[in-house]
Chains A and B, each alone.
Chain A
Amino acid sequence: MHIAVVGLSHKTAPVEIREKLTFPAQEQGGALRQLISCENVAEGVILSTCNRTEIYAVVSDFSKGKDEVVNFLSGVCALDKSELLNYLYFKEQENAIRHLFKVSSSLDSMIVGEAQILGQVKEAYQSSFEVQGTSVVLNRLFREAISVGKKVRTETGIGENAVSISYAAVQLAKKVFEDLKGHTVLVIGAGEMSELTAQHLLANGVSAVLVANRTHERAVELAAKFNGKAIKFDDCQEFLKDADIVISSTGAPHYVIHSDVVSKAMRRRKNKPIFFIDIAVPRDIEPEVGEVYNVFLYDIDDLQSVVDVNLAEREKEANKAEKIIDKEVSKFLSWINSLEVVPTISALRREVEEIRMAEMEKVLARLKHLSSKDKNLIDALTNAIMNKVLHKPIVGLKESANKKDSYIYTESLRYLFDLSEKEGEE
């Protein structure tokens, strides 16, 4: 029995390939059934996100199972098998387990530490579970992966700091304002970047949005999107007194906001702090603005340096996460190994033999008058009973070893006889 991963991700395949190999939610059930019906595949889960498509499978033979999965995939995406192979990666057993744990902890993501992937892993597992695509092994593996993902998120700071310019702006705004609720943001220049930043700010509670743009129509358009108010571009200095956060990204070749204007606005708003975010190049806001009392100014380079620092921080946290994952992988491996037939049989024999020896000792202690020949007879008798009782289950187990889901029997046997996992390692 082997756990296998066959898949491709942003690391191995360009988007033109990734977009061909996707599994929309409504088709997943059918695809899963098709996958499970493969001769060597006992269980399967399809994880399909925009950056990766992966098949997690329990196969009885790694190379045969791998081939079946590749055939299945090439059938889905209508790509030639030989071409598809250029983009696929294959991982087996320990590597497969580690891979899934890394995926669910977002260590394998395009943006390390992003929060979405954990939910996607959960969904992928759920939809396979619903069509009975999973059983003993993948059930345990995915539940474990989800809890590892959670653990990494809570025990490391991997998702803590902003790693995009627009999100860094939000994080910084929260250093000035405790709560963005009740604050107003003024967007000057309705570009894509300022739109994204404003969107983040809104999602974090900002109550009012003012938009100013050289072409007024665009301002109106954007304002409508945010439920905000469009103002005339020439009036935006006037509105500084109402704005707590100003995002500027015009294409102007010169400064749009000067410090004397800001000083005046600050007097009118009684020094309530303003946070200026200048994401334009060339800059829109005169650097001296940052020296006005209670005014804070970050330009694009400042934001970038915040992002860089945060990225480095994530790297560090990722190392911590790797350690957590290593531990969980070895725990899981020892359980997996216990599902093999041979160690299960020896564990069963050992368990029963221990019981026999203990009982023999007790009884012989009371039968001191017996000759050693009689004692040997009793020994032989109990031994014979034990072997007879164990004979059928052991033969059954050995026969099942050739079936693709043999581990269901070993797992039940271990459960019924309470055989611990450790013995399986030996």
Chain B
Amino acid sequence: MEKVSVFLLWLAIFVYAAAFAFYASYFISRKQITGTLATAITVCGGLIQTGSLFSRWLSSKQSLGASAYESLVIVAWFVIIGYLVIEHFADLKTLGMFVTPLVCIFLIKAWSYYHPPGPRIEVLRGSFISAHFMSMFVASAAFAIAAGAAVLYLLQEWHFKRKKSDSILGRLPSLQILDDVGHKSIIVGFLFLTTTLITGAIRAYQVWGTFFDAIVIATFLTWAIYAFYLVLRVAVGWMGRRSAILALAGFLFVISIRFLVVPYMSFLHGFKG
């Protein structure tokens, strides 16, 4: 069963790469059929990856997400799901051009942490802790999408202010929808990040009697950035470029927590993977 899971994982990577090619070619050629195919291929990739996760679950006989490999795979999966939901409501295929390669990178990076399924260590058992990291995955995925929208926003704004319509950048979506997608993704991400912080703190306190750790501080900082984003938006109307930059900064924090704080600085998350 594990072999099936691995096979499907790689198949999904290739399918996502193909979807990227179609999104890019749609962006250039504007042919309706290419765009429709791009979406269809992404949906296929999502199904294949779901199959991969499902067979991994069958072979490991426990809920997933408690390892570096599984966590990245699940974040990638949430990104795709989130993206498809957005595409269903808004014509934002350009965003697909950013999301699909990002997901490929996530999955390939995940592969570098690959390990065969095995039992979890004691601390990571239980549905309470599952809720902790699952909400972190949803939050990360939402922030990734927001960051993609932010990049597109900055590109489009730069292009629009240049006042030339000669480049292909003119085909980017409108500023309003990019801003809106970023904002909504961050609301979702923020809610889940809050859940992550609370559940993590409680669990850490139960096990070690403290929750004072590099990762808690870093996550709290990230949470503060997004809180700042949401508050400033409502209070003084920080929309547009400034909030796009904040969204990117927040995502930079999310990335560095995952790849710098967790492996090197955190005592609480120092269990292997």
Contacts and interface: CB of A to CB of B under 8 A. Distances in A.
A409 interface: no
Interface residues of A, number: 26
Nearest to B31: A155
Nearest to B30: A157
Nearest to A154: B32
B163 interface: yes
Interface stretch (B114-122, B168-176, B262-270): B168-176
A309 B238 CA distance: 33
Interface in A162-184: 172, 174-179
Contacts, number: 62
A301 B238 CA distance: 30
B163 A298 contact: yes
Contacts of B180: 178
Kindly name the residue among B163, B170, B174 whose own CB sees the greatest number of chain A CB atoms within 10 A. Answer: B163
Interface stretch (A96-104, A185-193, A264-272, A341-349): A264-272
Interface in B236-250: 236-242
Interface string B74-99: 00000000000000001000000000
A178 B165 contact: no
B163 A176 contact: no
B236 A177 contact: no
A160 B31 CA distance: 12
Contacts of A59: none
A272 B238 CA distance: 9
B29 to A, nearest CB: 9
A251 interface: no
Interface string A299-310: 000100110011
B177 interface: yes
B interface residue count range (under 10 / 10 to 19 / 20 to 34 / 35 or more): 20 to 34
B238 A310 contact: no
A1 B69 CA distance: 76
Interface in B185-219: none
A309 B166 contact: yes
Contacts of A309: 164-166
A305 B170 CA distance: 14
Nearest to A183: B176
A272 B236 CA distance: 10
Interface in A251-290: 269-273, 290
B71 interface: no
Contacts of A179: 176
B161 to A, nearest CB: 7
Nearest to A177: B176
A178 B176 contact: yes
B165 A271 contact: no
B33 to A, nearest CB: 10
Contact of B240 (A154, A177, A271): A271
21 contacts: A154-B32, A160-B30, A174-B174, A175-B174, A176-B160, A176-B174, A177-B174, A177-B175, A177-B176, A178-B90, A178-B174, A178-B176, A178-B180, A179-B176, A271-B236, A273-B176, A290-B161, A293-B241, A296-B161, A298-B163, A306-B164
Q: Which 6 A-B pairs have the closest CB atoms?
A: A270-B237, A271-B237, A178-B177, A178-B174, A302-B163, A178-B176
Interface of A: 154, 157, 160-161, 172, 174-179, 269-273, 290, 293-294, 296, 298, 302, 305-306, 309-310
